[in-house]
Every structure is written in structure tokens, then in C-alpha cells.
Amino acid sequence: MTASLVTPGMQVSTTSDCEAGEGTIERDGAIISTVIGRFSIDEGIGSVSATKMITSANIGDTVICEITRLNEKNGEAQILVVEGQTGSITPDQLYGQFRVTDLVDRYMHQTSDAVRRRDICRALVTKVSPIISINFRDRDDCGVLQAICPPCGSELIAEQNGDWNVKCPNCDYQSFRALADNFAAGWAELEQGASVLNNPGKRWGKVAEALFAKGPAGRATFIAADVREDGRERSYFRFEGEGGSGGQRREKAAPGTRLFVGGIPREITTEQIRDLFEKHGTIKDCFLPAGDGTANKGFGFITFSSKDEATAAIGSLNGHKLGGRRIAVKDADDDSKKGNHKRKDPEGTKMYVGNLPFKATEESITKHFEGTATINGMALATDRNTGKPKGFAFIWIAEGDKGEEIVAKMNGSELMGRKIKVDIAQSGNKGGTRNTGGDDKPAKTSRELQAMREEEQDANKPRRRPHHKKE
């Protein structure tokens, strides 16, 4: 038979055609390759010739693994090697799982009481399907072989001190680990291995119980240092005003120096905002909360070194056009951010323009009304969460333009292939507005309300694929 190139995990034959030979295993009647190489059948034996071997773990095997994940009552370890076998572990056996009761012969409140992330351990395989299950408890040679000090990164040594059985030689860190006999290598030469320091079957003392029994919240100072991969204690970065204790906070800004920036396009980065504002002074802090993926949430905070610089930035950049949108800039500590400030509309008659193409811009709308109306201002509606256009806008036309005539001429006119809807949203009389009961809110006309309902219904309609008739 001509040899063919195969990869690990590929079915190369069946037991009806040949027996599993070198570089293959038999699984449910299928012959599976365990290596990258050439498959061939010789005298009824199927084999793969290769140098890169793949191995698998069986019940009763011992494995060397690294603790990678810890939950309250269970954990996960990456299997590095099967002892006594050469080759890499099969992809479906890369990780083994264990329960808190599999760690050591004494009561553990949770897994982090006996092992920590990055610990190197020896474990017994107790189950291989559907997942690998491992055990540290049933044999003295199983458990932690090497552990790193969370605060400073030094290698821990074994030493009994009350409840604790490991310590750091360079700092004051002490803790408990489910030790294997040959923890830190030197213990392998002793008559009694390091597992004796686990004090199997004994009750915890007051020191350990005071920490272990309180759960994660009560033991935060005890386990928080395990977060960083490089062994150094982690410092938490919190935004000003967030609750909680411990960790680094943003410096509290002086009154009048911290600005709120709204309406930021989602694709704008922190660096771009900083570049825009630093023209007006020295920026002490620039923060854009992250949304989905790499996009921002549409707002941010800028802190200047002085109030005068912040005031200058407001005067220059409030209403500034950025990425096709006008941003709002104001004092972050001003009461106006709480909704007490009403935006002042541009002068003139307020008009509603609906059924707009989603790709319509302020420039294209202004050009469409050119020769019919003079536009003093425009508010193109966008979705608060996505920043995408909603398909309608409000425009303010000059006092001399007659709203009724503009409605008659422009309502139903075509813009980018869509017939737009135009109506008067607000009276153009001096200071006068239509209101609904004296609440100072402009009332929408019936046509405007109907148009907005149609816009919403149109946006919610499922889009059908075009149907092509058969020839």
C-alpha cells in the first residue's frame, strides 16, 4: 500500500482492515494516528512513521500538571506529561479536573486553601472519559511539587509553622499547600516525605480557620496576590467614585477641571481624544470607558491641570464635529449633567424630517433643502448605544422661511432613493411653542407622530431576500 501523509487524530483505517501498530491507537474499531507522518499497512499492521509522538493517559497513570484554574469547590490543571511515556498529550486530554475533596486528607473549605495557580503538581488519573479526572489525595507522592511565592515570585520551601507548611525564604509569606513527598526535590531523600507536613486528619487551628472559613471575601488579602502571572502583587485600578477598598484610585480632580465629553463616535480612541483636547492645556487624565470589543461607550472624562484650561476647552470644543458627530463638552461636576440644564435650540422654526436614508449626513440634508429653506441648525438622531442613525432629524429654518410652504414643497421629495417626510415640529412665532398643558415641552404634530411610528415599524420589519422568478 502506498504511504500517505496523516496528522494526529486522523482516522487512517479500521480494525477490519488492519491492527493498530506504531504511531496509531485503536478507538471503537477505528485506527487513529497519534503522530504526524506516513501511514502504511504491512502484513496486516497499520503504522505511522514519525518522530513526533503523541501519547494518551489511562486510569492509574501519574501525570505532571500545572494548576491553571480554581473555583470554590473544583479546579483545573494543564497536563504537561504522562510519567513514563514520551510524546505530547493528545488534544482531548490537555486538561484534568479535580474536586476540593481530591486534594488532601483534611477538610478544605475550597480549592485555593490547598493549591494555587501556577503550582506544579503530580496527580493520579482516576477517570479518562468524558473528561480527565485527577487526584492528589490517594498517594503520598502526589500533590504540589513546586510552588512560587505570590508576592515576590521566589520558590517556596517546606517548613512547618502551626497551620502553615510552606514559607518564602525572601519575604514573610506563609501558607498551606497539599504537598507531595518530594516537594522542592530535597524531600525525596528523607525517610518521611513532605506529605507528612500536610498533617492529615487534623483540625485547623484558629489562624487558618479564621481565614478559610470566611470564604473568598474574608480571605481576600490572603489570596489576592495569586492574580498576577509574574508573582508580583496586583494593584487594582479604579475609576474615581467607584466603591470598594484597596487598590489604586484616580486622583480626585479639582473643581472645574474635570470635563464630561458625550456623543463620542464609537471608533474614536483615547489617544485621539487626548490629541484633540491637549491643544487647550495640560491633561492630567483622559478616560474613555470601554464598550463591546474595542469600541468606547460613547462618552469619556478629561481632567485638565487648571480650571481656566478646562473652561477654554469647553468654549472651543463644545459642539465640535468629530467623526461625523457633534460632541458635547461640559463641566463634569456641573448640575447640568444631572438633567437640570435644558439645551438651547437654534433660532427659527423647528421642522421634522423623517424616512431619511441611514447614510444621509448633515451636509446631504442641507444640500437637499438648498434653495427652499435656510437651515440654522440640525439634530440628526442617532442610537444612544450604537451611534448609528435612526432615520430622522430635526432642522431649524430661518425666521423668514414659511414652514407650511416648505412642507408643501419638500414633503415626499426624494433623497438618495427615499421619499422623505417633512412637517412642522414647532411654531416659528417669537418665543412661541405648541405645548400640551403648560409643561413647556414642544408638542409633536399628528403627522410627525405618525411618521415616527412608521419609522419605528419600518426599522423592526424583517428584511426579506429578493425572490427571483425561475425562467
pLDDT tens-digit readout, 418-431? 999 999 885 444 33
d(CA 307, CA 281): 10
d(CA 112, CA 331): 46
39/77 same-domain check: no
Q: Which of 326, 316, 236, 235 is nearest to 279 (CA)?
A: 316
Output phi, psi for 430, to 5 deg. -60, 110
Instruction: Give the up-direction half-sphere exposure of residue 457: CA atoms within 13 A in the CB hemisphere.
Output: 6
- Between 346-355, 387-396, 455-464, the lowest mean confidence (pLDDT) is in 455-464
Query: Which pLDDT score, from 0 to 100, does residue 234 have?
Result: 42
d(CA 92, CA 44): 28
In a domain, 166, yes or no: yes
Give the bridge partners for 248, in sequence order: 237
AA identity, residue 422: V
Kindly report the CATH number assigned to the domain that includes residue 226. 2.40.50.140
Domain with 31, as residue range(s), is 4-52
- Between 40-44, 139-143, 350-354, 383-387, the lowest mean confidence (pLDDT) is in 383-387
d(CA 23, CA 47): 6
In a domain, 73, yes or no: yes
pLDDT at 4 over 80: no
Q: Which of 153, 172, 150, 170 is nearest to 161 (CA)?
A: 172
310/415 same-domain check: no
20/64 same-domain check: no
Burial class (CB in 10 A: 0-12, 13-18, 19+), 271: exposed
pLDDT at 32 over 70: yes
Query: Which pLDDT score, from 0 to 100, does residue 219 have?
Result: 47
- Between 32-36, 53-57, 133-137, the lowest mean confidence (pLDDT) is in 53-57
In a domain, 466, yes or no: no
**Assigned C-alpha cell, 61:** 497513570
Q: Which of 110, 91, 100 is nearest to 79 (CA)?
A: 91
Any residues with CB less than 8 A from the CB of 100 and at least 6 apart, and which?
Answer: 72, 73, 74, 75, 108, 109, 110, 111, 114
19/59 same-domain check: no
Per-residue pLDDT, averaged over 386-402, amounts to 83
72/145 same-domain check: yes
In a domain, 441, yes or no: yes
Query: Which pLDDT score, from 0 to 100, does residue 456 have?
Result: 61
In a domain, 465, yes or no: no
- Between 11-15, 185-189, 202-206, 218-222, the lowest mean confidence (pLDDT) is in 218-222
Percent of the chain with pLDDT over 70: 74
pLDDT at 225 over 80: no
Query: Which pLDDT score, from 0 to 100, does residue 63 have?
Result: 92
Percent of the chain with pLDDT over 90: 22
48/65 same-domain check: no
65/182 same-domain check: yes
d(CA 300, CA 297): 8
Kindly report the CATH number assigned to the domain that includes residue 34. 2.40.50.100
Max Cα-Cα span within the chain: 103
Query: Which pLDDT score, from 0 to 100, does residue 228 have?
Result: 42
Q: What is the pTM of this model?
A: 0.41
Burial class (CB in 10 A: 0-12, 13-18, 19+), 466: exposed
419/312 same-domain check: no
pLDDT at 28 over 90: no
d(CA 1, CA 452): 73
Bigger pLDDT: 207 or 434? 207
Output phi, psi for 335, to 5 deg. -65, -20
pLDDT in tens, 439-463: 444 455 555 565 556 556 655 555 5
d(CA 94, CA 66): 11
In a domain, 251, yes or no: no
Cβ proximity of 422 and 373 under 8 Å:
no
Q: What residue spans of 85-205 are helical by DSSP H?
A: none
305/451 same-domain check: no
Which band of pLDDT confidence, cut at 50, 70 and 90, is reported for residue 263?
A: confident
160: alpha, beta or left, given left = phi > 0 and alpha = psi -120 to 50?
beta
407/271 same-domain check: no
Bigger pLDDT: 127 or 188? 127
pLDDT in tens, 205-221: 887 877 776 655 444 44
Per-residue pLDDT, averaged over 322-336, amounts to 81
Torsion of CA 334, 339, 340, 342, to 10 degrees: 110
**Which DSSP symbol is given to 238?**
E
pLDDT at 133 over 50: yes
pLDDT at 59 over 90: yes
Please state, rounded to an integer, the average pLDDT across all residues of the chain.
78
In a domain, 40, yes or no: yes
Instruction: Give the up-direction half-sphere exposure of residue 384: CA atoms within 13 A in the CB hemisphere.
Output: 0
Per-residue pLDDT, averaged over 383-389, amounts to 70
d(CA 265, CA 386): 9
d(CA 340, CA 336): 5
d(CA 431, CA 348): 10
Which band of pLDDT confidence, cut at 50, 70 and 90, is reported for residue 229?
A: very low
Instruction: Give the up-direction half-sphere exposure of residue 64: CA atoms within 13 A in the CB hemisphere.
Output: 13
381/411 same-domain check: yes
117/101 same-domain check: yes
Kindly report the CATH number assigned to the domain that includes residue 354. 3.30.70.330
Residue 209 DSSP SS3? helix
In a domain, 103, yes or no: yes
Q: Looking at the 3D structure of the chain, how many domains does it have? A: 4
Cβ proximity of 125 and 59 under 8 Å:
yes
Bigger pLDDT: 466 or 115? 115
Residue 10 DSSP SS3? coil
Q: What share of the chain is helix, strand, coil (3-state, %, to 5)?
A: 20, 30, 50
Bigger pLDDT: 217 or 79? 79
First vs last C-alpha separation in the chain: 51
